Amino acid sequence: MYKFAHIADCHLGAQKYPELKELELRAFKEALDICMAEEVDFIIIAGDLFHSNLPDMGVVKEAVGKLSQVKEKGIPVYINYGSHDFSPNQTSIIDVITESGLMKKLFNARVVKDEQEREQIQLIFTIDPKTGAKLTGISGRKMGIDNSYYEILDRKSLEAEDGFKIFVYHTSVKNILPEYLIQMGGMDIKRFPRNFDYYAGGHIHKRVCEDKLEGYGVITYSGPLFGGYPRDLEISAKGEKRGFYIIEYDDHINSCADLKFHPLELVKYLYLEFNADHKNSTQMNEEIKKELERRKNQGEIEGRIIVLKVRGELSSGKTSDVNFQEVRKYLKEASALHVSINYHGLISREYTEIRVKGETVEEIEENLLLENLKNIDLPLEELNSTNGKELATRLLKILRQNQKTNEKKGEYNLRILNESLSVLGLEDIIK
């Protein structure tokens, strides 16, 4: 009997609030502590261990310290890049850590030709020395660039391989997404190789397990260890457990029943939702105030993450008349650990503020770019609509980079110029 852990979407370094930073790190450390206590044979991290390719070094230090303890126990950690911690232009912190021997990257491929002389990507298996398990997979890339890998993937060689096999991926698979996530699109499972025992997924911040697709083994998303985006906090506050899987097997995994989910009980939540329909701004303020006072008196605020959501249409008064600053102040004074307020769905008959929706800075930027591109008639197809948004997003990511420590101004300017030209495909023209 063997045992392995499936972890994904730790997003270390994502948080700007100290209290959430601490929870983010605690989640990672507790997960690895459980893995060591359970004496797993190996650990899989299916992408986005870090929130960026070069995260805060303090966060890296904490993560490396815990990974060192895991290595001392003789437990190998296998990892793929996620869409956040990969960079096409720079070395990722994942590269540095794997070079130290604390983790091993799974994505290992070569280009071959098929019978029609078409190029294919052929993945190379990593064999776990203790269990003999054969692991491979494809790393995640931003904006679905990894889709092109799946399009030319040599599936036949992967399917023909015998033994216990695990495929590690970091992308959305539309065939197994819950209803409310279908709109985000995704890849068809047919692009995945068949005949694998376990498919360890990352990228989707929701726990999913599917074992009824013919030709495929158990296909899973473990979900995030903590999940600090406002959307994640809301889902957690509504009762979704966050954690990871530990799987025991002999020579096969039969169904989702073979998986054991380990929830991480790091903090308590309180979810509050208010409907503004048929109420004016004064009534809305009063309703929120009374409910918060009631919850405080019941001891449901202190030490918790409070997620407050207001939506609907005010009958009169501006949306800005609903005093969310006062709400936040009241909750913090009542010793709430963290306060997340969502009023994107609040509008008013009298006045409606124009907003571009998005949970993260990246989403807001992408939506702004897309909306503005719709109003511009550009002669080049590469600059229109989705293509233009993707190009502008990649360029914006490069241009917002800060000067590195000990990097001279001239070196910084040259680096930004070269990376920008590379994204635009102009490096050869300038030369």
pLDDT at 334: 96
* Strand residues in 299-359 grouped as ranges (E): 305-314, 338-342, 346-348
Full 3-state SS string of 63-103: HHHHHHHHHHCCCCEEEECCCCCCCCCCCCHHHHHHHCCCC
Pairing of strands 165-170, 338-342: unpaired
Given 323, 348, 373, the domain boundary residue is: 348
pLDDT tens readout for residues 219-244: 999 999 998 688 899 999 999 999 99
Domain shared by 176 and 63, yes or no: yes
pLDDT at 336: 97
- What is the Cα–Cα distance from 161 to 64, expressed in whole angstroms? 34
Instruction: Calculate Rg over the CA atoms of the chain.
Output: 24
pLDDT at 113: 79
Domain shared by 342 and 217, yes or no: no
Given 316, 348, 380, the domain boundary residue is: 348
DSSP code at position 51: S
Q: Which residues pair with 105 in a beta bridge?
A: 79
Does residue 71 sit within a domain?
yes
Domain shared by 293 and 195, yes or no: no
HSE value, Cβ hemisphere, 13 Å, CA-based, for 95: 10
Which positions of the chain have pLDDT values less than 70? 87-90, 142-146, 183-184, 228, 350-360, 362, 370-387, 389, 426-431
Catalytic annotation, pick one of 6, 11, 84, 338: 84
DSSP code at position 159: H
Q: Identify the CATH number of the domain in which residue 223 sits.
A: 3.60.21.10
Does residue 144 sit within a domain?
yes
Domain shared by 215 and 308, yes or no: no
Distances in Å between the Cα of 271 and the Cα atoms of 83, 234, 337 are: 29, 7, 13
Does residue 184 sit within a domain?
yes
Does residue 242 sit within a domain?
yes
Domain shared by 185 and 209, yes or no: yes
Does residue 64 sit within a domain?
yes
Residue 335 has a CB neighbour count (10 Å cut-off) of: 11
With a CB cutoff of 8 Å and minimum separation 6, the contacts of 4 are 40, 41, 42, 43, 44, 131, 133, 166, 246, 247
Domains held by the chain: number: 2
Q: Which residues pair with 219 in a beta bridge?
A: 199, 210
Identity of the amino acid at 181:
L
Domain shared by 172 and 279, yes or no: no
Does residue 338 sit within a domain?
yes
pLDDT tens readout for residues 38-68: 999 999 999 889 988 888 899 999 999 999 9
Domain shared by 258 and 291, yes or no: no
Domain shared by 311 and 179, yes or no: no
Given 301, 326, 348, the domain boundary residue is: 348
Does residue 76 sit within a domain?
yes
pLDDT at 229: 80
Catalytic residue check, 84: yes
Q: Count Cβ neighbours within 10 Å for each residue of 10-47 and write b for 16 or more, e otherwise.
A: bbbbbbeeeebbebbbbbbbbbbebbbeeebbbbbbbb
Domain shared by 153 and 279, yes or no: no
Does residue 6 sit within a domain?
yes
Reading the block at residue 122, the tokens are 């052929």
Distances in Å between the Cα of 321 and the Cα atoms of 82, 281, 311, 316, 345 are: 41, 6, 14, 10, 15
> Residue 362, SS3?
helix
* Strand residues in 328-391 grouped as ranges (E): 338-342, 346-348
The vertex-321 CA angle with 316 and 325, nearest 5°, equals: 150
- What is the Cα–Cα distance from 306 to 43, expressed in whole angstroms? 33
Q: Residue 78 sits in which domain range?
A: 2-227+237-263
Domain shared by 128 and 13, yes or no: yes
Reading the block at residue 1, the tokens are 């009997």
Angle between helices 409-424 and 385-399 (to 10 degrees): 170
Domain shared by 95 and 38, yes or no: yes
Domain shared by 295 and 176, yes or no: no
